Structure 1
Amino acid sequence: MKAISSLRLTRRLLCLLGSSVLACSAFAQTWPTKPIKVILPFAAGGGGDTVMRPISQKLAEALGQQVVLENIPGAGGALGMRAAIRVPTDGHTFVMISNTHAIIETLQPNLGYVTLKDFVPVTYMASLPLVLVVNPNLPVKTTQELLAYDKQHPGKLNYASSGSGTIYHLVTEQFKYMTGSQMTHVPYKSSAVARTDVISGQVDLMIDGLATMKPFIESGRVRALGVGAATRHPHLPNVPPVADAVPGFNEDAWVGMMAPAGTPQVAVDRFSAEIGKLLANPEVRKLYADQGMGVQGSTPAAFGLTVKNDIDKWAYIIKTAKVKAD
């Protein structure tokens, strides 16, 4: 009797497993069944738009459904993440994240979510080089001269960022820590507003994305002192790395895609694969390269490791440099 009962239990489990496989297969074949929303937790015109908008139409064509982009900025990117966890986990909502989200995981302890618990990774998308710029009226032309000026005028310099806890805030705080400078942080609601005040001279300097700052560098409205990477960037061949004056400084920004926890894995895998195909397209790669960005897709697991490593890295820097949210 026990053998018969065990056999019946095994058969029942196999039937349930078979039903699950069939259900997953059916979901994979029909997904997506409605427009897909991608939440961009950044202000319009920022790095998220720069990366996502050029491929949204091609992505929609590949998936057979409209891809709707919705900007929900605020709280260093946390508002968009909170909005994403309130939607049904039916595979039709995704959210773009950046290393700002890895930073605020430590800097803002009451986010209302835990990144790697309440979200699942989808794919890495792009790296966005950074550049240190000053208002042209500031009498410095190199990073070394900036540091000398700061030493001669302690507490006089101020720097802009797109908000407390953003990547632009933390890389500048790291710069301060590594150089012992005494610049004052002036947080803004977006990079665009911060950039405007650097250009007008309301604020002295800023570390910003190269892609968005490049036109203002070329027009002479700001002066570039150094790029964030360890080597020169082909779009600014005459601008040395910040690392020439600050050994060990090597930072850029990145963006990738996540989905609310509970999103069907087949939707995650398909969305990741289709983005990866687009990022491998020579035409798309050239479009990004023309803006100074590097692009690469990844598996969900590989991107999850990137996010974890960055959370750990910035937690250490925040603790070591004693960075506080403004």
Structure 2
Amino acid sequence: MKSTLMLAGALSLIATMAVAQDKPVLTVYAPDYFTSEWGPGPAIEKGFEAICDCDLKFVAGDVLPRVMLEGDKTSADVVIGLNTDVTAKARATGLFAPHNEDTSNLSMPVKWDDPIFLPFDWSDLAFVYDKTKLKNPPHSFAELLDAPKDAYKIVIEDPRSSIAGLSLLLWVKAIYGDQAEAAWEKLAPKILTVTPGWSEAYGMFTDGEADMVLSYVTSPAYHIMAENDDSKLAAIFPEGHYFTPELAAQLKSSKHPELAQKFMDYILSPAFQKMIVTANWSFPAKLPHDQLPKVFQDLPMPDKTLYIGEAEAEKLRGPALEEWQRALAK
């Protein structure tokens, strides 16, 4: 009897494994932060698998370089976590297919009509400070630039390796145009250091090594909700703040195009959008403001949003980087 039960159990396990192996695998390339245990990836995987009758597999890493290296032989069906600073390069590969989503009613401050790259969240760039330590934060970008050299110790990210750092170049360019280099010359003495990425910069700030850090208007929400700490604030400037969306796209070469499309549909679903808020600490691309957690509803926000389109940003990238390097070298 015992051996019969063991045999039945073994056959059941084999049958279960066979069913699992029969399920199609949807492969999604995503950045490390997205797939980490504290990122949105695990919840999204569980949620999508509950409706897709498939196995969702996240592959973490540097998304676009890997896809470009693999070309149309890539195993990715979908990529997620791209930004507008790379979409011109990504579009030029011809590897991506239309997302086929209605973007006319997204809850973003910028109208979105790109047929290839689909936004799933967004925030505005901002300098974040601790109100208990910095009693006189700047109330405008001009005030930040014109303050005495020793007024602030600021940490920013390198535009050559960081999305936030590159967005700062475009933010300064959007406000100051041809005078951007002069603006950088004023800001340079207040920059304590330039870090390779956001994590290093924000860590220095939270460790008390800097007065301000280049981050996002949504960053204080994390401290309030996760740490019960309301001391971190974003400095809001009347000149406007730079809009930074995160994007997804499906591959033309996908082995499971119907599943890939289903995932694109899922991205704009309420289930996905609600996961993003407190897992990625950003505003979801399609969720009414009154459905956000109250902390997000109450965040101070700029009256003016600044954004440079893909083609113009691509043209400005090289000259803006040269201006930045010259100013910080003086």
Paired AA for residue 46 in structure 2? Q
Tell me, yes or no, if structure 1 residue 57 matches structure 2 residue 67.
no
Distance 1:102 1:151 in 2: 33
Paired position in structure 1 for 2:203: 196
Paired position in structure 1 for 2:328: none
How far is the alpha carbon of 1:117 from its aligned partner? Answer: 1.2
Paired position in structure 2 for 1:235: none
Tell me which of 220, 232, 253 is aligned to 1:222. 232
Distance 2:323 2:42 in 1: 33
Tell me which of 41, 58, 61 is aligned to 2:31. 41
Paired position in structure 1 for 2:121: 127
Paired position in structure 2 for 1:81: 64
Q: Is the 8 A contact 2:72 2:253 kept in 1?
A: no
Distance 2:199 2:123 in 1: 17
Distance 1:287 1:99 in 2: 19
Distance 2:282 2:221 in 1: 9
Question: In the superposition, relative to structure 1, how do residues 277 and 263 fare at CA in structure 2: closer, same or farther (>3 Å)?
Answer: closer
Identity %: 7
Unaligned runs of 5+ residues in structure 2 are 1-21, 100-116, 177-182, 288-307, 326-330
How far is the alpha carbon of 1:312 from its aligned partner? Answer: 0.7
How far is the alpha carbon of 1:255 from its aligned partner? Answer: 2.0
Paired position in structure 2 for 1:5: none
Q: Per-residue displacement from partner, 1:192-214 (whole Å, max 9, x unpaired)?
A: 33211122233343332444442
TM-score, normalisation: structure 1 = 0.59
Paired AA for residue 187 in structure 2? M
Distance 1:33 1:142 in 2: 55
Paired AA for residue 37 in structure 1? T
Aligned-partner SS, 1:183: helix
How far is the alpha carbon of 1:166 from its aligned partner? Answer: 3.3
Tell me, yes or no, if structure 1 residue 273 matches structure 2 residue 262.
yes
Q: Is the 8 A contact 2:120 2:285 kept in 1?
A: yes
Q: Per-residue displacement from partner, 1:41-86 (whole Å, max 9, x unpaired)?
A: 344578x9755443222222333222122321xxxxxx43232342
Distance 2:55 2:208 in 1: 42
Question: In the superposition, relative to structure 1, how do residues 98 and 212 fare at CA in structure 2: closer, same or farther (>3 Å)?
Answer: farther
Paired position in structure 2 for 1:152: 147
Distance 1:84 1:262 in 2: 11
Distance 2:196 2:243 in 1: 20
How far is the alpha carbon of 1:225 from its aligned partner? Answer: 0.9
Paired position in structure 2 for 1:205: 212
Q: Per-residue displacement from partner, 1:152-181 (whole Å, max 9, x unpaired)?
A: 324874332276353311332234443525
TM-score, normalisation: structure 2 = 0.58
Paired position in structure 1 for 2:157: 161
Distance 1:51 1:324 in 2: 36
Question: In the superposition, relative to structure 1, how do residues 65 and 103 fare at CA in structure 2: closer, same or farther (>3 Å)?
Answer: closer
Paired position in structure 1 for 2:83: 99
Tell me which of 284, 293, 301 is aligned to 1:294. 284
Question: In the superposition, relative to structure 1, how do residues 88 and 39 fare at CA in structure 2: closer, same or farther (>3 Å)?
Answer: same
Q: Per-residue displacement from partner, 1:130-169 (whole Å, max 9, x unpaired)?
A: 243124434433433x643532324874332276353311
Q: How many residues align?
A: 246
Question: In the superposition, relative to structure 1, how do residues 268 and 202 fare at CA in structure 2: closer, same or farther (>3 Å)?
Answer: farther
Aligned-partner SS, 1:38: strand
Q: Per-residue displacement from partner, 1:279-304 (whole Å, max 9, x unpaired)?
A: 233x444444565512349xxxxxxx
Distance 1:65 1:162 in 2: 39
Aligned-partner SS, 1:203: coil
Question: In the superposition, relative to structure 1, how do residues 274 and 36 fare at CA in structure 2: closer, same or farther (>3 Å)?
Answer: closer
Q: Per-residue displacement from partner, 1:220-257 (whole Å, max 9, x unpaired)?
A: 4533212xxxxxxxxxxxxxxx3x2x1xx342222222
Question: In the superposition, relative to structure 1, how do residues 37 and 269 fare at CA in structure 2: closer, same or farther (>3 Å)?
Answer: closer
Aligned-partner SS, 1:169: helix
Tell me, yes or no, if structure 1 residue 263 matches structure 2 residue 254.
yes
Tell me which of 246, 251, 259 is aligned to 2:242. 251
Aligned-partner SS, 2:64: helix
